[in-house]
Amino acid sequence: MITSVAIVGCGWFGTPLAKFLLDKNLKVFGSKRTPQGADALSEDGIHGFALDLDDTCAFNDSTSQSEQLNKTQQALWQDALIVNIPPGLRSGKSDYLERLQRLKTLIGDHQYQRVVFVSTTGVYAADGRCHDETSASAYDDKSETLLAAEQLFLDYSCCTVLRFAGLVGPKRAPGRFFAGKRDIAGANLSVNMTHLDDCIGATYQVLQAQHSGNNIFNVCGEQHPTKQAFYFAATQKLGLPTPAFAVDNDASLDKTVCGQKIVNELNYQYHYSDPMVMLEHC
């Protein structure tokens, strides 16, 4: 039975997840990159701890650093572990796998009841298909890195990978992305979206599930409006200038993600299946 959870990465998703798990009477440990951030988590009842996987100096063998690493290990060694580290690949960062490997080194040989690794539907190519969990491919350097990251944690026999589609929710209103822009490509391409409430709900469902072994689940709303329709509605909702899209009809570049497997196997019920409805809850 899982009674304690460590969350590595308490940002836009990790912090509300931690608060949700607290409300479920779980003991929750959460990491931030700075001591100040960790203290802020502690003020909310979360056992905050500082962990900056970019700080290679923090992983040396000095006595003071060893003491701090021991404290970090104690925070990580809970019944369940949720790894939620943004890859940063779009911003040009290239050390994602190195950061994850440092985390694994910290974990050592601790035995978890459940590991949840947060990934992305970026592992699916825009090739005109509807993608389920079996159709991921290393179609470019970024997807190759993402799949290698998943595999680092699928080495744990109790790991579940959750591949989130485009993220929307409080403080992440998509209307700001393309407001007032012109000649945007992909007017008729499908959008694949996941609301924060479903990121949290799917993660909790995995923690509660009795299944054993590894698994991979997409988390994505069932409906897929066009990019043009979705972002037009998103900007209107915020009262921002609507975007203008270029005329294109290249269906071979479309991509839809199927999020049904988690429904079929874990009986998960989505809060929001329609991205248009998600806009009302951002």
**Which residues, including other chains, have CB under 8 Å from residue 99's CB and lie 6 or more apart?**
53, 54, 85
Please give the share of the chain, as a percent, with pLDDT higher than 70.
95
Q: What is the CATH number of domain 4-168+195-220+255-271?
A: 3.40.50.720
Q: How far apart are CA 187 and CA 177, in angstroms?
A: 14
Answer whether residue 105 shows pLDDT above 60: yes
Residue 211: pLDDT over 90: no
pLDDT of residue 60: 65
Q: Is 212 exposed, middle or buried (0-12, 13-18, 19+ CB in 10 A)?
A: exposed
Q: How far is CA 35 from CA 32, 49, 179, in A?
A: 7, 7, 36
Beta-bridged to residue 219, according to DSSP, are: 164
Residue 6 confidence class, pLDDT cut points 50, 70, 90? very high
Taking residue 93's Cβ as centre, other Cβ atoms within 10 Å add up to: 12
Q: What is the pLDDT of residues 68-90, one digit of tens each?
A: 888 999 999 999 999 999 998 76
Model confidence at 119: pLDDT above 90: yes
Q: What is the value of pTM for the model shown?
A: 0.95
Mean pLDDT score across all residues of the chain:
94
Residue 135 pLDDT grade (very low, low, confident, very high; cuts 50, 70, 90): very high
Please count the other Cβ atoms lying within 10 Å of the Cβ belonging to residue 265: 12
Question: Which range (80-94, 95-109, 217-231) has the least confidence?
Answer: 80-94
